Amino acid sequence: MKPARVLLLTMIELYGLNNCDTCRKAIRDLKEGGFDYNFSDFKRDGLSLADVESWLILAGWDVLVNKRGTTWRGLTDSEKADLNDEKILSLIIKYPALIKRPVFKVGNKLIIGYKEEQKKALGLYG
Domain positions in the chain: 12-122
Distance CA 86, CA 90 (A): 6
The model's pLDDT over 18-51, given as tens digits with 9 standing for 90+, comes to 999 999 999 999 999 889 999 999 989 999 999 9
The chain-wide mean pLDDT, for the chain, equals: 90
CATH of domain 12-122: 3.40.30.10
Amino acid at 117: E
Q: Which of 10, 20, 33, 69 is catalytic?
A: 20
Q: What is the pTM of this model?
A: 0.87
| Catalytic-residue membership of 23 | no
